[in-house]
Structure 1
């Protein structure tokens, strides 16, 4: 089967959409399929090519209207040369291109909906098959009146990702103080970093000597740093920025927290589980599915500072509770492998082509 993936770029920036695409493309090529990624480029081009995935430069970011015909014509040229069986769009621009291309070439257009809470997500429903990364996302697309027969749920998988193997030897740049609490997230209001900082301050974390590590970048970082200064936590809260070797940091983490207000699935939850962290996360959208409904981690209401603080206090104040939470986090993680995710998509492709 020949598969063409479309995305705005393949930059190594912590973007979960790109991480899923890279893992999927590499594992599909490993299974003997001819896989091509068309994007604006980025640091992952080399990794893709080392795993047998060809990359073609195709600018897909929003452009002035006068440039749209140029982008469309270049895409048509790719279609005539590559003749894919499947065009898999991971972002809205790719869906528009894929839909236009079907006027001149016969293939199955698949979209993966990662951020269904964005208004533009409704356009992802134009594909022949629409994949939600959680049941919560799929249900949202059904509410947008996408026909049920066109919607499927395929959970993301990170276990065995080629991205971590590639970065395994890169320096962590820091030895983390223990006990440690960490989050890996874009520094945006949606991710609830403010909730986590306030809960850390309200918990027993200071009493037991814990430190909080915020791993990631984003436009709201200054606002979160202001909260840290107001709470006089600058010696206990550390903003590390984006890290390539995030697994090395997670392996030094005792409690991982994802305090998102909205979250389609939460790749970082799976990464934390693989690293053996105890996990506390918001009971919202697709997060419960990444935690086995709560059997592999602790779920708290989104935005609830006191509930999060209470769970942090319980784990940081009891070695036995922390050890049990870490054990539970690892249980069942094998079902979220990057290989299984690739197999699930290949099965969907085959069914869609019949």
Structure 2
């Protein structure tokens, strides 16, 4: 099948980019002709090495830029002879919708950031992929028909993007608690800082490592500096590969307030971390509803602190949850994601093929 993916860019800092790049490479490995239309970025070299073509489409949100982008995209769709177009963000979906209508090509959209109001526009797709059951339910509540919705749970294990990663654990002080993600309010970091301040009273040797960057890093560092645990918190900033830190961590914590289906949990579970996550969006599904990781209420530092303390108090429990993290780990592979996505494509293409045969 000839598949054209559309996304804003291919820079490293966005989870939806990681998901799209992983999928495109997996589809190319299965023998499909795959191309990505975007503003370009860090992953272009990897895509080329895996047989995925790239073309430039500027997604800047201005009327002149978007008009030019629509013309470019129309040309790329026609030149590539796409059988299906797959849009990964709102701007991409809006650009692709009229082009696909005119060309009578199915448009598949994936809802990566369901927490954004604009996510409703992803309903423009012939078929709409939700990255978790929770996202699927939310999109139905927004009026998107269940008949066009398909849930394909995120997973990244085995992806081309992770082939060159380092398998040697980083040097972390133990007992260590690790967070990996963007430093912005949606990730709930203030809850983790206040929880760790409680933990530090009983376990002064414990250390919290924060991997990631973002617009709130300065305010978060200032917040931590006022806490008693300040010297036991290290901000490591953005790293090219957080996997060695996951291999070394005793406990991985994701305290999100909203998170449709975070890829970082696939990696944390692959690294056999003892995982604690909040009961929001796709996190429970990615943790097998509490069987592969501990679930706590969001926005509740006391509950989070209790969960961390329970593990630190009984090291055998950390080992037990490391083992539990491997429950149905095969369900988080990119191979499974690619296979299920192809079924969505076939469902989208089938009506068109039937009409063509009838003619």
**TM-score, normalisation: structure 2:** 0.94
User: Which residue in 2 is equivalent to 1:209?
Assistant: 205
Consecutive unaligned residues in structure 1, runs of 5 or more = none
The change in CA–CA distance for 1:80 and 1:303 in structure 2 (over 3 A counts) is same
CA distance in 2, matches of 1:293, 1:235: 34
CA distance in 1, matches of 2:166, 2:316: 30
Q: CA offsets per residue over residues 93-118 of structure 1, 9 Å max, x none? A: 11011102024312110000011110
User: Which residue in 1 is equivalent to 2:20?
Assistant: 21
CA distance in 1, matches of 2:54, 2:292: 37
CA distance in 2, matches of 1:226, 1:232: 13
CA distance in 1, matches of 2:308, 2:65: 51
Are 2:238 and 1:239 equivalent residues in the alignment? no
Residue 303 of structure 2 aligns to a residue in which SS? helix
| Contact preservation (8 Å) 1:255, 1:280 | yes
Are 2:37 and 1:31 equivalent residues in the alignment? no
Offset of residue 289 of structure 1: 0.3
CA distance in 1, matches of 2:180, 2:164: 19
CA distance in 2, matches of 1:106, 1:224: 49
CA distance in 2, matches of 1:104, 1:265: 33
| Contact preservation (8 Å) 2:200, 2:229 | no
Residue 40 of structure 2 aligns to a residue in which SS? coil
Offset of residue 318 of structure 1: 1.0
Offset of residue 67 of structure 1: 2.4
The change in CA–CA distance for 1:67 and 1:245 in structure 2 (over 3 A counts) is closer
User: Which residue in 1 is equivalent to 2:288?
Assistant: 292
Match among 78, 87, 90 for residue 89 of structure 1: 87
Structure 2 counterparts to residues 1-354 of structure 1, below 5 A:
1-13=1-13, 15-62=14-61, 64-168=62-166, 175-204=171-200, 207=203, 209-354=205-350
CA distance in 1, matches of 2:149, 2:136: 7
Residue 5 of structure 2 aligns to a residue in which SS? strand
| Contact preservation (8 Å) 2:60, 2:66 | no
Q: CA offsets per residue over residues 119-142 of structure 1, 9 Å max, x none? A: 110101111001100011011111
**TM-score, normalisation: structure 1:** 0.96
User: Which residue in 1 is equivalent to 2:355?
Assistant: none
| Contact preservation (8 Å) 1:87, 1:110 | yes
Offset of residue 331 of structure 1: 1.8
CA distance in 2, matches of 1:17, 1:99: 20
Q: CA offsets per residue over residues 303-349 of structure 1, 9 Å max, x none? A: 10000000100111211111111110122111110111001001111
Moved more, 216-225 or 251-260: 216-225
Offset of residue 269 of structure 1: 1.3
The change in CA–CA distance for 1:285 and 1:144 in structure 2 (over 3 A counts) is same
Task: State the Cα RMSD in Å.
Answer: 1.4
Offset of residue 60 of structure 1: 1.3
Residue 147 of structure 2 aligns to a residue in which SS? helix
| Contact preservation (8 Å) 1:208, 1:317 | no
Offset of residue 5 of structure 1: 0.3
| Contact preservation (8 Å) 1:25, 1:35 | yes
Moved more, 160-169 or 318-327: 160-169
| Contact preservation (8 Å) 1:204, 1:313 | no
Runs of 4+ that moved beyond 4 A = none
- Aligned pairs, how many? 350
CA distance in 1, matches of 2:52, 2:139: 30
| Contact preservation (8 Å) 2:70, 2:96 | no
Residue 239 of structure 1 aligns to a residue in which SS? strand
CA distance in 1, matches of 2:166, 2:102: 44
